[in-house]
Structure 1
């Protein structure tokens, strides 16, 4: 259903330093880059949605929409923990520490961050097991 998601940035190099380690940890590869944007996904599999970060095409300042969020799915809670730590290490800010969110379903484990431009991201595991939560 999703082909790609794109978020805006006002500093492409800062965004690259923030997102590259996250995408590596997620097992995604750089698919495209030029002087205005980057994308990650799987070069040989167009069925994997791509995630893109770029300067706004209209030349205006990138702004964040209230209520917008991109969620990256993980098979293990431990990966959620690692992604959250990487995001904070590379210039992100916390919007919710890793943990179970039973209001969204049994085993729903998530962490929430904002990138350096303020775009909100979630790292989620839908069926976390207690032993998954090892760092």
Structure 2
């Protein structure tokens, strides 16, 4: 639905460490780095941009995972990279029948999620 999104982060180095680890299981990596800005996404298509600066408040971003194992890998990689638990991976039937998500807070308090809508 969107082409790209940019978040302001207070510590670009800490955010780079977090997002590099958390997004790797979903197939995303740093695609651009320079001038206080990072771009994450699939090869040659950065869609999540981080820029050092004053945050305007926490946001929620949900990334599509190819399967439930990728959701679990996202969650497991995010915690030691500076993320904080905000909901262990699992089914959320109150959202939708096959909604399988895992939630972490990034270093700036944003709610970052990986979600898979496929059956196991």
1:74 and 2:65 aligned: yes
Cα RMSD, aligned residues only: 1.6
Residue matched to 1:124: 115
Query: Structure 2 regions of 5+ residues with no counterpart?
Result: none
1:110 and 2:107 aligned: no
Change beyond 3 A, Cα 1:127–1:43 = closer
Residue matched to 1:21: 21
1:1-135 aligned at under 5 Å gives the runs: 1-44=1-44, 46=45, 50-56=47-53, 61-65=54-58, 68-129=59-120
Whether the 8 Å contact between 2:24 and 2:74 is mirrored in structure 1 is no
- Distance in 2, matches of 1:12 and 1:19, equals 10
**Number of equivalences:** 120
TM-score (norm 1): 0.80
Whether the 8 Å contact between 2:23 and 2:74 is mirrored in structure 1 is no
- Distance in 2, matches of 1:33 and 1:123, equals 23
The answer to which structure has the higher strand fraction is 2
Match of 1:102, SS state, is coil
TM-score (norm 2): 0.89
Q: Which has the larger radius of gyration?
A: 1
Query: Structure 1 regions of 5+ residues with no counterpart?
Result: 130-135
Moved over 4 A (4+): none
